[in-house]
Structure 1
Amino acid sequence: MTQQSILRLPDVMKRTGLSRSSIYNAIKAGTFPQSVSLGARAVGWFSNLVDEWIAARTSNAMQTVASNSPTCIVKRRSR
């Protein structure tokens, strides 16, 4: 079982490479994990959810790269 911790916004920004506004826009669009309230003026994100989001994004990117590789294009043409 992966240890779960809570990340604050600067840590989420570092892990994802996204800006503050991009993170909140993605939350609003439903494409990024929702933050959890830590107090009156503090929020955080579960680290495992952020890591899963990153893994899904990189997995999709790798599939896109693989499907556009020259060997895949040749295979498509020969069908």
Structure 2
Amino acid sequence: MTASNPIPPVAFLKLWQIIGNPKAVPPIPALIPIGRTSFLNGVKSGKYPKPVKLGVRTTAWRVEDIRSLIEKLGA
């Protein structure tokens, strides 16, 4: 990830990488400026992509799904 292109071509993104975390050091900017609950409700309703379960306590989203969501929201 670089400053000009914060999204890697192939990867998994955790929730805080998608919605950002201003309290982190350094702060993590949001790819999609939305709250956690709103994002998770959107996932539940089918508006946003479903996550992938990587482990018992690890959930992430495919970067391809988030990239297409950003393009769709921008259109």
Specify every segment of 5 or more residues in structure 1 that has no aligned partner in the other structure, as ranges.
60-79
Say if 2:13 is the partner of 1:7: yes
Q: How well do the aligned residues superpose, as a CA RMSD in angstroms?
A: 1.3
Percent of aligned positions that are identical = 24
Q: TM-score, normalised by structure 2?
A: 0.72
Per-residue CA deviations over 1:6-25 (Å, capped at 9, x if unaligned) read: 00111111211111101110
Q: Which has the larger radius of gyration?
A: 1
Instruction: Identify the match of residue 36 of structure 1 among 52, 55, 58.
Output: 52
| 1:17 matched residue in structure 2 | 33
CA distance in 2, matches of 1:20, 1:39: 20
CA distance in 1, matches of 2:64, 2:33: 17
Structure 1 residue runs of 4 or more that deviate by more than 6 Å after TM superposition: none
Specify every segment of 5 or more residues in structure 2 that has no aligned partner in the other structure, as ranges.
1-7, 20-29
Q: TM-score, normalised by structure 1?
A: 0.68
Higher helix share: 1
